[in-house]
C-alpha cells in the first residue's frame, strides 16, 4: 500500500490544490496567516520516510500536540517543516518513563472494570509508526504507549460508552477530520464496524492510509480520483472534493473530533450537505461550539446541531490560558463539548 500511496499522492495533491477554493476548504476565505499550515496540508509530493515515520517529523497539526514529544518547546517552535526529530523507537529516559507511568496510572485508576479492555487496546501505540513512545506497566503487562495514545484511549473509552447507548452498533462508520487514523482504527475494532469512510486534507489522507494499512493490512482503499469508488467492507480514504459524486451510501455513525470547530461556516455547511443530510443516522463529536477567531464558523448554530435531536451534550474539557497578570485561568466560552446527535 505504501507504494500505491506514494505513486498516487502527487496527482491527488494537485487535484486538492485545484479544488481548494471550493466548499470543502474555501482557501479564499482564509487569511495569509494560515499559509504555513496550508503548505503542509497541500504538499505537492511527499517522501517515503515522512509517510512511514510521520510521527518523527514536524508536520504541524495532525493531531499530535507539542507535549507528546520528549523535546523542549523552544526546539519544536523553531522546527522547519517536515524536520526529523532524532530519537529511537522507544525512549529510555527515567524522567519521561516516570511521567508517562504517572499519567497512565491517573487515568487507569478511574476506569470502570468494563472499560479496561478497550483502554488497554487503544493505549497501545504502533511501534513501527513513528513518534515518541515509552513503556508502562498495568495488570502485569508491559505496554508500549505515548502521552498521545493515553489521551486517545481515554477518548475512545468515552466515545464507545456513547455509542453503546444506541440501539445498534455502527455497520458503517465515517470520520471527518480523522488526523492520522488512530481513533478510527480503535473505533473500527471496538464497534466491529464493517465499512469505514475517512475524509480529511491531502497530507492527512496519505498518513492515515499508511497507518490504517499497518493496523488493517489489505483493507484500505484510496478513493482519490474519478475511477475509484467507495467499497463495502473496506476502509475508504475519500477525498473531500469528490464527496458529491462518490458518497453514495448511508452511514450509521459519523464521528468528528476537534475538527469541525476549525472550519469556516461554508465548509461546515458543505460537509453537512454531502455527508449528513438524508444519509447519516448519528453524529458523535467533540468540539468547541464557539469560534476561537473569525476564520472559524460557530458550530453551535450549524445544521449539525439545529437539524438533529441532541441526545447527549456535556463539557469534556475547558482550556487554560495565561491572563495579563500571568495567572492560569480557564475559559468557559471555549469549552470542548461531547455530543451525540440523531438525524
Ligand atoms: C486538530 S486536528 C484533530 C485531528 C483528530 N481528529 C484528533 O482529534 O486527533 C483537526 C483535523 O481536522 C482536519 N481538517 C481541518 N479542516 C478541514 C477541512 N476543511 N476538511 C477536512 N478536514 C479538515 C485537519 O486536517 C485535522 O486532521
Q: What is the DSSP letter of 120?
A: H
Q: Which atom of ligand 1 is nearest to the CA of 24?
A: 19
Cβ atoms 304, 339 nearer than 8 A: no
In terms of domains, do 161 and 222 share one? no
Return the residue whose CA atom lies nearest to atom 2 of ligand 1: 63
pLDDT, residue 154, reads 96
- β-sheet bridge partners, residue 329: 321
Both 60 and 130 in a single domain? yes
Q: Please tell me whether residue 154 adopts helix, strand or coil conformation.
A: helix
Domain that includes residue 304, residue range: 166-342
- Total number of domains constituting the chain: 2
Of 113, 134, 165, the one marking the end of a domain is 165
If you write DSSP's letter for every residue of 296-326 in order, what string do you get? S--GGGSHHHHTSEEEEEEEEE--EEE-TTS
**Same domain, yes or no: 269 and 202:** yes
Residue nearest to atom 18 of ligand 1 (CA): 25
The number of angstroms, rounded, from the C-alpha of 47 to the middle of its chain's C-alpha atoms is 21
The answer to whether the CB of 267 is under 6 A from ligand 1 is: yes
Instruction: Provide the sign of the torsion angle of the four alpha carbons 14, 20, 23, 24, taken in this order.
Output: positive
Query: Could you tell me the three cell numbers for 49?
Result: 520516510
CA–CA distances in Å: residue 18 to residues 11, 36, 135, 241, 300: 11, 18, 44, 10, 31
Beta carbons of 261 and 299 less than 8 angstroms apart: yes
Residue 264 CA, closest ligand 1 atom number: 19
Residue to substitute in 173, 201, 336 for testing ligand 1 pocket (most ligand atoms within 8 angstroms of CB): 201
Give the pLDDT of the chain (343 residues) as one tens digit per residue. Answer: 999 999 999 999 999 999 999 999 988 888 877 776 777 889 999 999 889 888 888 887 676 677 777 677 787 778 888 888 766 667 777 888 899 999 999 999 999 999 999 999 999 988 777 777 889 999 999 999 988 899 999 999 999 999 999 999 999 999 999 999 999 999 999 999 999 999 999 999 999 999 999 999 999 999 999 999 999 999 999 999 999 999 999 999 999 999 999 999 999 999 999 999 999 999 999 999 999 999 999 999 999 999 999 999 999 999 888 888 888 899 999 999 999 999 9
Residues 68/131, Cβ–Cβ less than 8 Å: yes
Distance 288 CA to ligand 1 centre (A): 13
Grid cell digits, residue 190: 471496538
**pTM attached to this predicted model:** 0.95
Residue 300 and residue 312 in one domain: yes
Q: How far is the CA of 163 from the centre of ligand 1 (A)?
A: 21
Q: Kindly state whether residue 39 falls inside one of the protein's structural domains.
A: no
**Atom 5 of ligand 1, nearest CA residue:** 179
- Residue 194, in any domain of the structure: yes
> Which residue among 119, 148, 165 closes a domain?
165
Burial readout 1-11 (b: 16 or more C-beta within 10 A, e: otherwise):
beeebbebbee
Grid cell digits, residue 205: 489522507
Q: Residue 275 to residues 94, 243, 279: CA-CA distances in angstroms?
A: 47, 8, 7
- Give the chain's length: 343
Number of Cβ within 10 Å of residue 203's Cβ equals 25
Q: Which of 165, 186, 210 marks a domain boundary?
A: 165
Question: Could you tell me if 289 and 337 are in contact, meaning their C-beta atoms sit under 8 angstroms apart?
Answer: yes
The string of DSSP codes covering 41-55 is HT-S---HHHHHTGG
Amino acid at each position: 500500500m505504501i507504494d500505491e500511496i506514494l505513486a498516487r499522492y502527487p496527482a491527488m495533491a494537485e487535484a486538492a490544490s485545484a479544488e481548494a477554493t471550493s466548499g470543502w476548504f474555501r482557501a479564499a476565505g482564509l487569511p495569509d496567516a494560515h499559509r504555513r499550515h496550508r503548505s503542509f496540508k497541500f504538499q505537492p509530493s511527499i517522501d517515503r520516510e515522512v509517510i512511514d515515520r510521520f510521527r518523527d517529523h514536524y508536520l504541524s497539526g495532525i493531531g499530535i500536540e507539542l507535549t507528546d514529544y520528549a523535546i523542549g518547546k523552544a526546539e519544536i517552535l523553531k522546527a522547519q517543516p517536515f524536520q526529523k526529530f532524532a530519537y529511537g523507537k522507544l525512549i529510555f529516559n527515567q524522567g519521561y518513563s516516570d511521567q508517562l507511568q504517572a499519567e497512565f496510572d491517573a487515568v487507569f485508576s478511574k476506569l470502570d472494570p468494563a472499560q479496561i479492555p478497550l483502554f488497554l487496546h487503544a493505549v497501545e501505540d504502533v511501534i513501527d509508526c513513528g513518534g515518541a513512545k515509552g513503556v508502562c506497566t498495568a495488570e502485569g503487562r508491559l505496554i508500549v504507549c505515548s502521552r498521545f495514545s493515553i489521551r486517545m484511549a481515554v477518548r475512545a473509552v468515552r466515545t464507545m460508552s456513547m455509542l453503546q447507548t444506541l440501539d445498534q452498533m455502527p455497520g458503517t462508520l465515517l470520520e471527518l477530520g480523522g488526523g492520522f487514523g488512530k481513533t478510527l482504527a480503535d473505533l473500527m475494532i471496538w464497534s466491529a464496524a464493517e465499512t469505514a469512510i475517512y475524509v480529511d486534507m491531502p497530507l492527512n489522507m496519505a498518513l492515515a492510509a499508511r497507518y490504517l494499512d499497518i493496523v488493517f493490512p489489505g483493507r484500505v482503499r484510496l478513493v482519490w480520483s474519478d475511477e475509484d469508488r467507495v467499497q463495502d467492507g473496506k476502509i475508504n480514504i475519500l477525498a473531500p472534493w469528490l464527496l458529491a459524486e462518490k458518497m453514495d451510501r448511508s452511514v450509521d455513525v459519523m464521528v468528528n473530533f476537534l475538527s469541525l470547530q476549525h472550519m469556516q461556516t461554508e465548509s461546515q455547511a458543505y460537509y453537512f450537505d454531502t455527508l449528513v443530510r438524508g444519509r447519516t443516522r448519528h453524529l458523535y463529536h467533540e468540539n468547541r461550539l464557539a469560534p476561537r477567531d473569525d476564520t472559524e464558523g460557530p458550530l453551535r448554530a450549524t445544521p449539525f446541531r439545529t437539524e438533529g435531536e441532541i441526545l447527549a451534550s456535556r463539557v469534556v474539557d475547558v482550556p487554560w490560558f495565561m491572563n495579563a497578570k500571568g495567572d492560569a485561568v480557564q475559559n468557559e466560552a471555549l469549552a470542548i463539548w461531547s455530543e451525540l446527535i440523531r438525524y
